[in-house]
Structure 1
């Protein structure tokens, strides 16, 4: 539902659009110098969008307002523009709207009854608040999905299963391995054994600098799970310090997997 004087307000803001924009820029001084930069970065026309927000607010176009806010949220999130900057801009729009409404009523000698004034105030502020809420939600949802996709990409890169032949693959592990990463390794290994019908998986540990006993035990469970799925595991590149740690606690890979000194030695049997 639009405002009680929707048609008059609409005409007034349309006729005074340029003056409104200049007044808005004076209200949001931090934004003035960023107009062209934001247009260049994200193809976002702040002034045109401000006018659209004003029109939707005055006309009571709630569904269009919500959709506009969601599009804006994605646009700002995808170009890594800050919410603090957007909040400053929208609040400047709010203040400028009220100043222009006051000037319109004053110049036309319109004195609103208290009930009419508070009804107008509620509608305008509620719509601008709705716009901000929807924009923040859209922005956050986009960022959350982006973080999840990046996390999945990192996890996938941290467990790179590389096919060598139709049934032989290599899993080179690099860096530190904690229990969280071993969970990812276990999930990825068992999934890829099934998907690629891997018969032999060479797990190369030459790039591992530090590893805890709990992680070693987890890797042994991974090789045991692989064996249950018909996949033979070959462990290569065990460093002396890791071997000492394994034997010190009475663990061994022997019953669960073959071991080779280097990845090259393991692959020679399959690449001849």
Structure 2
């Protein structure tokens, strides 16, 4: 008879054994995965994932030592689980249940050979099986984490872009209300978005309202001054309104000022009146 490690190298005999006992494998798997069992139908609905069929796929890749296919499958699974924000502990419990189930049936298969135990062969088999399952888990988690990072970056970019809204009030004048805390990352988004919108909309006067900004660091102020320089080069006049006393005080201490680069008004209403009615 062929030894177990050799069967794992060739794959065919053990695969046939597992296929013959497919229902028993599934029953054993569901018993082992008691925490996941009740979630199988829910996971199928959420992510169109058939956990049982996928378990058979993973076992097949492990038994046949199909490393490339196993890695590709792990990466695919990682993306799906990340995309639908499914609980990682369920996946971990499920894969551990697959590992225990596979070992249970490898033991049954080995017994069916009626061959005396070969310790060297057993440990070789153990290493092969566990290395492949661990390889699946490692690639799954890397894929999951990578997809999540990209998703978070896209969401962050979307939020930043949505937070930079330029509101036209007539054909040549627009208001740019700044709201909330502004860090270096958001400053860069503001700079790019404002220059793009001024150019696209052919805005001649941009009212930058700071009444919604609680604090502004020196680096952020420099970014805003660069924005004003940029729109000035495109023939757009900048008007600053709504600056809080604490921000003005901080700018004075740091030797910074908007007055040389932009018109400054006390509030948004004054700026709108001056530009729409022509008051000075």
TM-score, normalised to structure 1's length?
0.85
Q: Select which of 200, 203, 207 maps to 1:202.
A: 207
Aligned pair partner of 1:175 in 176, 180, 195: 180
Match of 1:235 in 2: 240
CA distance in 1, matches of 2:216, 2:197: 24
> Post-superposition shift, 1:30?
1.5
Give the Cα separation in 1 of the matches to 2:63 and 2:233.
67
| Corresponding position of 2:85 | 80
1:248 deviates by 6.4
Deviation at 1:166, TM superposition (A): 5.2
Do structure 1's residue 254 and structure 2's residue 259 form an aligned pair? yes
Query: Is the deviation greater in 2-11 or in 80-89?
Result: 2-11
User: Whole-Å Cα distance in 1 between the matches of residues 62 and 124 of structure 2?
Assistant: 13
- Aligned 8 A contact 2:78 2:142 in 1: yes
Distance 2:225 2:234 in 1: 14
Tell me the secondary structure at the aligned position of residue 63 of structure 2.
Answer: helix
**Aligned match for 1:97, one of 102, 107, 114:** 102
Paired residues for 1:38-77 under 5 Å: 38-77=43-82
Measured at CA, do residues 199 and 32 of structure 1 come closer, stay the same or move farther in structure 2, by a change above 3 Å?
same
- 1:219-243 deviation per Cα after TM superposition (whole angstroms, max 9, x unaligned): 3343233323432111122345544
Give the equivalent residue in structure 1 for 2:130: 125
Is 1:153 matched with 2:143? no
Which structure 2 residue ranges, 5 or more long, are not aligned? 1-5
Greater Cα offset, 131-140 or 178-187? 178-187
> Alpha-carbon deviation of 1:43?
2.1
**1:206 shift after superposition:** 2.2
The 3-state SS of whatever aligns with 1:202 is strand
Whole-Å separation in 2 of the counterparts to 1:129 and 1:17: 23
Q: For 2:8, what is the secondary structure of its paired residue?
A: coil
Which has the higher mean CA deviation after the structures are superposed, 260-269 or 15-24? 260-269
Root-mean-square deviation (Å): 2.9
Change (3 A) 1:260 1:132: same
Q: How many residues align?
A: 272
Q: 2:25 aligns with which of 20, 27, 30?
A: 20
Q: What is aligned with 2:3?
A: none
Structure 1 CA distance for aligned equivalents of residues 256 and 124 of structure 2: 76
Greater mean deviation of Cα atoms: 108-117 or 23-32? 108-117
